[in-house]
Structure 1
């Protein structure tokens, strides 16, 4: 077994571009997701080490120092961080010329050949579902024999091996939480809506939905929801609860755990027996009966992708959700006492000044507890990216999707809607939603009940206003 380092490299200050982040950019309130997509192959490679540099504030000098002790480095990369990641590889190879380097992530899953051409010091990339391909590479096998790899041979030629079949038995994957315990400081992972400290991992991969913008199902996970057995999931929760007694909430990061309602209810009932507080991603179409089972068994919060309040835009992006159904779902959650963090995207195909106003009004009407407003990001490998190129919506200058500070830009534009208007609408959205007397009263009331929450919300408030100021300074 090669001495293997798994690395999320240093990047923009506060950049949440890790191997679990759905939108790789700096956030309005600093947050970090667990590097689950790196931790999973790390769990398969005996004696490996995982360094997640951004949340642990580990700089390039320290990464290079540690890389001297390894034979193989596997880095997660993304469209926004690729150029920075290549510079890290150059520094590591300068210090350790014998180091082999591989890349994983959605970017190289769909663009392996070009990624190797652009980064001549990278030895291979692992496409799509890469866990066992990386394990075999770490075992020192001939790269020519490993399915799912694109690699550089001794003559410098780029070779694409056959695709690797997707994993059907998800219980074959070892737990990721022991890797968290070994290599990560969990207190460094936080966001504005989950209790702190929290812990997150997957109970399955893939999503049957066909949302045109969504990165992971179109590049790595696929459109079939392949799941771990309920017992396997609960066994990891038990292990993690004993290993991390400080954890206040578990988050299940499946694209949509609620796609399989009977399984969701079965997991919920087992979590209820353990007394676990938990949260998950959900579509805004879950039946009230399932929501009640979830709430009765410890579910505190749902992260819900509403995206837009305009029905035609939802049709355009193949969201598969009706606005009226989403409203009923949200009403059910409010009545049952399930907290919602709602996510919205501005600048999707069909967006106009009027639909932006409509979505802002919609968000105020359904009133999730907290929101996140993102800009439509056409990641390579997605249908949205293909649309953008075919229609001339994406300029080459905006292809990295973030600016030089790691802040999301508005990469798409339309004949009737400019970059600048889409970009500025994010500020308008946040201010219109949060600067309402009922919402302010709700947040103040939350703070009054808990000194810890007061400290946290004040810190987040400072970060939020600083971020809005920075956005105005760089507005196009």
Structure 2
């Protein structure tokens, strides 16, 4: 069988990605090792629809697989409709959005098959020609029965059995976590290291959840003497990172940590089940700073129990943490989540989910819901304060006080900022690239100083 796996174009403001799509990489690899043919199309890299059409005509796949998140899902549906106009090829949709809304994908789009949950085994069984009715984790159209929802796909608990994605063509559960072995992870790192890569990112917000596992990974990296750097940009829980582990991670090459702090108000943290305290956040960030490492904090506007006063308290708290970067976002209630149910009961949606999930770029500053104690206008003011703080930190930490002043002025002036965007220049991605270069240099300088002492 021949599969074309597509990462659809990014519709929002986000810039060119630095890494390939990990999920599609796993799917491609499991198909390839089972002797199926695969091509990739990562349209976030600037690939046009016309170029995609040419690829489909040349490759002539049996199936087209597409991944989708919930933000701007309608544009993915429209994208699928354009493909179906030109080609009589079955389209498979997977990813977070498909797993969230399930049958609705077939009700509101021209998708032929929906993969719910982990797709590796499901996609392989499709490739092997197994009858759709016998494939767990699949939702499909039957001429006789209409939309058919098969039993759910069981988890792959032994993750080591999965071939790690080599990108040739381009998780926690109720009882604990499923993890690859440290040896398997080092094997993947070595694979890319031999090909010249020296900077790696771990997309695992549970990396520090099992300390012995994380320590063993670090020990293997240290022993391998890879002279590389590692980041945990997706965030780690502050209640799982102690000083011993932070020191070990520094020795292995980790130099940047992100923390999901969410709020400085304990009532808000309790309502969302975060199970941390502001004092623990402060303690963990202080540990990271103590050892010369850099950190980022994620905070949310408008979570259950939040008010303008509590947000100002959160912003003051964030300013006092001595973070290298702060990101503040409006809370978004996804249908099917506890937050969505809470909003329906205690607040008011300002837009329908169909609208706000597809207009995220336009609504990034605007909240999609409000409460009596935290109305929409106050949420906009809170977002502006958060963006100003983000810009100050990013620019000052990257280029220094003198150069930062004009950059902060530009980023806070909507007229100038939109003019720059129209001519294709985005200030923040440019500064971020400079920031990453500075971080790598400062890390290796810090290691040299540690060795001297």
Give the TM-score normalised by structure 2: 0.82
Secondary structure at 1:183 match in 2: coil
Residue ranges of structure 2 left out of the alignment (5+ in a row)? 422-453
Runs of 4+ with >6 A deviation = 457-468
Select the residue among 98, 122, 125 that pairs with 1:108: 98
Matches of 1:70 and 1:167, distance apart in 2: 27
Alignment of 1:372-411 (within 5 A): 372-399=327-354, 400-401=356-357, 403=359, 405=361, 408=364, 409-411=366-368
Alignment of 1:118-267 (within 5 A): 118-119=108-109, 121-155=110-144, 157-176=146-165, 178-179=166-167, 182-184=168-170, 205-206=171-172, 224-243=176-195, 245=196, 247-267=197-217
Could you say which structure has the greater relative contact order, defined with CA pairs below 8 angstroms and 6 or more residues apart? 1
Structure 1 residues 154-163 or 405-414, which shifts more?
405-414
The question of whether the paired residues in 1 share the 8 Å contact of 2:391 and 2:408 is answered with no
Q: 1:254 to 1:102 in 2, by over 3 A?
A: same
Q: Does 1:414 align with 2:371?
A: yes
Secondary structure at 2:92 match in 1: strand
Give the TM-score normalised by structure 1: 0.78
Higher Cα radius of gyration? 2
Residue ranges of structure 1 left out of the alignment (5+ in a row)? 16-25, 185-204, 209-222, 449-453
The question of whether the paired residues in 2 share the 8 Å contact of 1:207 and 1:256 is answered with no
Deviation at 1:325, TM superposition (A): 1.0
Secondary structure at 1:306 match in 2: strand
Q: Which residue of 2 aligns with 1:70?
A: 61
1:49-97 per-position Cα deviation (integer Å, ceiling 9, x unaligned): 221111x111222223323321101111122232111111112122211
Secondary structure at 1:435 match in 2: helix
Select the residue among 271, 291, 302 that pairs with 2:221: 271
Matches of 1:73 and 1:264, distance apart in 2: 37
Secondary structure at 1:348 match in 2: coil
Q: Does 1:40 align with 2:30?
A: no
The question of whether the paired residues in 1 share the 8 Å contact of 2:411 and 2:417 is answered with no
Matches of 2:351 and 2:24, distance apart in 1: 30
Q: Which residue of 2 aligns with 1:202?
A: none
The question of whether the paired residues in 2 share the 8 Å contact of 1:207 and 1:255 is answered with no
